[in-house]
Structure 1
Amino acid sequence: MLIRGSRGVSVTAEGALLLEVCARAFDEIGAVATLIGQDNKTKILRVRAGPFFAMEVIASRIAGFLKQNPGIQLHLNNIDIDSIAQDTEDAQIKYCLHPPAGMYNIELLKEKLVPVCSPLLLANVANPEDLLVDPGIPRLHYRDVKDWKRWISHHGFDDLTANSNLFFDDQHTLLAAARSGQGIGFSHRPLVKNDVERGSLCIVSERYFEPEESYKFICSQENIATNQALQLFRDWLVNEVSTIC
């Protein structure tokens, strides 16, 4: 591989070829080592949230958080309402009355619910609030009839018998039904602002009520105390929600 001459040692043709191959190999090893180092520095956050909160609050704003924190990867998953997978998830955003005992939690969003529907239902209506007691207009329910009963009782409307056969486990699906003219449902006023501006939803009444349940950020006490990436995400989320309430 080497030739000793009068002027010193030089590389043979075979040696030059080997040197080139070795140089490329070491370059590739260095590149892989760099990638491994980057992967080790990347912090993956696994957060569960229902489709409505995930799409309307997190997904539409998360680019700013990730840009500010390039070392964090966010894995956003759908939520199983009756499951708390503490061993696989760093945190969850859950719509509930009481968080699980012993868990760290903060209230993110206390909703002010107003009735909304498709503009199609208001086309020939002089007073939109008349629809609220029209037995021919379906009421869209989130899980159960409590929201409707509370709103009607709070504002002194007569609770006439109404079509109450449509129930949804997620507000995102409920709003999709409302947009398509299937009935009247409730939503947090600021979160349907874009729908109203686009003309896909109308506010039937500005009268609102606050349900007992709220969106809560929930995780283990140990995780929030030791996981800096989770702390950053929590603080960012609290700040973002405060701008839309």
Structure 2
Amino acid sequence: MRRRLPSLKGLQAFEAFARAGSMVRAAGELCVTHGAVSRQIKALEQQLGAKLLAGPRHDLALTPAGRELAASLAAAFDRIAAGLPGAGPGEELVVSSPGTFAMKWLIPRLAGFIDANPGVQVRILEDGGAASFGDGGVQAAIRLHRGAAPPGMTATPFLDHAYGPVLSPALSGAADRKAALLLPRLHSETFTDGWARWAADAGVELPPPSAERSFEHNSYMIEAAAAGLGVAVTAWAFAQTDIETGRLIAPWGFRPLATRFTCLRPALASHPAADRFALWLAAEGRRAKQPPAAIIPQ
């Protein structure tokens, strides 16, 4: 019997919108105008005799019927993609993450997720800006976040955030907390106010350093600290491994911050592998070692 199916273009347009959460992003993915996406979805609603979207044009949300269809389409399109010639086994999970977090925390633990999900191919994209889904096929984004989930997203906080100064144990004066504050001061362009914020939180007035050195990325700054080029303020998640292996010390411990490392996903259409990834991150966060308590410099 011939299948009674609605327009494939309409289904593709609706699935792209449900996944990306935006007409503009869906249009970019499909290489059409956002007006074309809107018209295709309206035509699909007429064919199905059901309302799929509701709300003002600038803030459309899925109706219950839309959520049900979006979930079915996501699974169906994943099966189609997996069955295409040359598609290869398994499904791909694209994760967007700040580079230093991926390098220092995520990748060293990633084998656990891969072992538990052998059919999932994980691809990590370096990005620390506003989370954007649909660009590059991103299905999950790791960001520092606090409070309620951003509009159109599901948020899973999984790791506390703390920061503090670190330096090489080989540096002269490392055992003297006051003397260490006089050493060359290292900065990262991604956290330019790190030293000022730490001093304010610790209630100390920083003396003039012997030198100031700036680096583009946190990872460069951490390597510079381990190489003995000065003292750096960085996150516990970034420095933990180097501290545990003795490459770095943290003479003043780490101060907690209100933000948490959080796994963000589109709220309109779930991606099974992304949801499993968020649950795995939460479990890893619960197992993570807590940072040394903060000490007031004296």
Deviation of 1:102 after TM superposition, in Å, equals: 2.7
Letter of the 1:222 partner, please give it. Answer: L
For residue 185 of structure 2, the aligned residue among 119, 138, 142 is 138
Distance 2:211 2:146 in 1: 24
Distance 2:131 2:271 in 1: 22
Q: Structure 1 residue 229 and structure 2 residue 273: aligned?
A: yes
TM-score under structure 1 length normalisation = 0.70
For residue 200 of structure 1, the aligned residue among 247, 257, 263 is 247
Deviation of 1:37 after TM superposition, in Å, equals: 9.2
Q: Structure 1 residue 72 and structure 2 residue 107: aligned?
A: no
Deviation of 1:117 after TM superposition, in Å, equals: 0.6
Per-residue CA distance 1:39-59 (angstroms, 9 max, x = gap): 576221111112222122221
Structure 1 pair 118/145, CA: closer, same or farther in 2 (3 Å)? same
> Which structure has the higher relative contact order (CA within 8 Å, separation 6+)?
1
Aligned length: 206
RMSD: 3.1
Partner residue of 1:94? 143
Distance 2:265 2:217 in 1: 21
Per-residue CA distance 1:53-105 (angstroms, 9 max, x = gap): 21222211111221221221111121153562434211111235676533222
Distance 2:222 2:279 in 1: 28
Distance 1:213 1:168 in 2: 23
Partner residue of 1:181? 228
Partner residue of 2:160? 110
The residue correspondences of 1:153-172 to structure 2 (distance < 5 A) are 153-162=200-209, 165-172=212-219
Q: Kindly indicate whether the alpha-carbon contact (under 8 Å) linking 2:164 and 2:250 is maintained by their aligned counterparts in 1.
A: yes
Partner residue of 1:45? 93
Per-residue CA distance 1:6-26 (angstroms, 9 max, x = gap): xxxxxxxxxxxxxxxxxxxxx
Partner residue of 1:22? none
Structure 1: 5+ residue stretches without partners = 1-34
Partner residue of 1:9? none
User: Which structure: larger Rg?
Assistant: 1
Q: Which runs of 4+ in 1 moved over 4 A?
A: 35-41, 96-100
Q: Kindly indicate whether the alpha-carbon contact (under 8 Å) linking 2:184 and 2:213 is maintained by their aligned counterparts in 1.
A: no
Partner residue of 2:285? 241
Distance 2:114 2:162 in 1: 29
3-state SS of 2:220 partner: helix
Deviation of 1:231 after TM superposition, in Å, equals: 1.1
Deviation of 1:220 after TM superposition, in Å, equals: 0.9
Structure 1 pair 139/66, CA: closer, same or farther in 2 (3 Å)? closer
Structure 2: 5+ residue stretches without partners = 1-82, 291-298
Q: Kindly indicate whether the alpha-carbon contact (under 8 Å) linking 2:168 and 2:174 is maintained by their aligned counterparts in 1.
A: no
Distance 2:255 2:225 in 1: 19
Structure 1 pair 41/145, CA: closer, same or farther in 2 (3 Å)? closer
TM-score under structure 2 length normalisation = 0.59
Deviation of 1:166 after TM superposition, in Å, equals: 3.5
Distance 1:85 1:166 in 2: 35
3-state SS of 2:161 partner: coil
Distance 1:58 1:100 in 2: 23
Deviation of 1:181 after TM superposition, in Å, equals: 1.6
Letter of the 2:114 partner, please give it. Answer: L
Letter of the 1:214 partner, please give it. Answer: R
Partner residue of 1:214? 260
